[in-house]
Amino acid sequence: MAHIVGGLAASHIPAIGGAMARGVENEPYWKPFFDGFPPIRDWLGHVKPDVAVVFYNDHGLNFFLDKMPTFAVGAAAHYNNADEGWGIPTLPPFKGNVALSWQIINHLIDHDFDVVTCQEMLVDHAFTLPLKLFWPEQFTQIQTVPICINTVQFPLPSAKRCYALGQAVGDAIRQWDSDLKVVVVGTGGLSHQLDGERAGFINKHFDLAFLNSMQTHPDWATQYSIHELVEKTGTQGVELLNWLAMRGALGPSATTVHRNYHIPISNTATGVLAMAT
């Protein structure tokens, strides 16, 4: 059966892609953020996952406000990245793993998750940038399964539902008849709000409590409603739903390999986390 080697989580701000394209990772503004990745890359070099299952949220490249699925799973042989208008380079296609996609889709349907199946799927910076951060030179070599969670258009799925989604995806991976090694990825956040009266809002206290909970109490954030999470993290901070889904997939005994937290990058509290199972 397939083996989940661990989980990864990272912020996915478009400006990060611009920094990598300009080669300014060691400038004072950027260095505290990028310094969080070398220990994780070393760990990935040791565990060598074959497939990354990625929980992320689309920003209009694949889905728009008129058609926004709650949960959507990619089932394609490859996933194209397109120009989003942020001025960041468009990356080459990402490899899919169709067999694992259908394993996850069928398992989710069998366990009462109503998912949209996408046999064609564009992937935006929320998917591409974290993979490039974790695998700077080999990001197009690892096989992928994208799972999109709606964090954009209300009504949003609850934190409890997203955690349960992650648990179901983890079960599907572990039941997959394959000898491949899988890493589960969650992207986005942490606390930030890009518009409205609270534009620029960051909640360091909540962010650190959330990061701590990933180790000690992984379903901690499920106690809050979506509206409470928006209040605590900002309108876009609810991207932490992707982190929750990732953590749910790992099971209760995952341990922290490395983590980093930095304020701010482009008005966002940024985080990166690696956990081993």
User: Per-domain residue ranges for the chain?
Assistant: 3-189+238-276
pLDDT tens digits along 178-217: 999 999 999 999 999 988 899 989 999 999 999 999 999 9
Alpha-carbon distances, residue 276 vs 133, 143, 144 (angstroms)? 18, 19, 19
Task: Give the separation between CA 24 and CA 258, rounded to whole angstroms.
Answer: 23
Which regions of 75-160 does DSSP assign to beta strands (E)? 78-79, 94-95, 116-118, 143-149
Give the model's pLDDT for residue 86.
Answer: 86
Any idea of the CA torsion for 262, 263, 265, 268, to the nearest 10 degrees?
Answer: 110
**Is 59 an active-site residue?**
no
Q: Which of 125, 227, 258, 262 is catalytic?
A: 125
Do 53 and 185 contact (CB within 8 A), yes or no?
A: yes
- Please give the pLDDT value at position 83: 86
- Whole-angstrom distance, CA of residue 98 vs CA of residue 25: 35
Helix/strand number for the chain, H first, E second: 9, 10
pLDDT reported for residue 87:
86
Alpha carbon distance 28, 57 (integer Å): 29
Q: Is 157 helix (H, G, I), strand (E, B) or coil?
A: coil
* Helix axis angle, 240-250 to 204-216, nearest 10°: 10
The residue from 12, 59, 192, 262 that is catalytic is 192
192 an active-site residue?
A: yes
Ranges of residues in the chain with a pLDDT under 50 are none
pTM above threshold 0.95 = yes
Output the pLDDT for position 90.
93
Domain 3-189+238-276 - what CATH class?
A: alpha beta
Fill in the amino acid letter for 107.
H
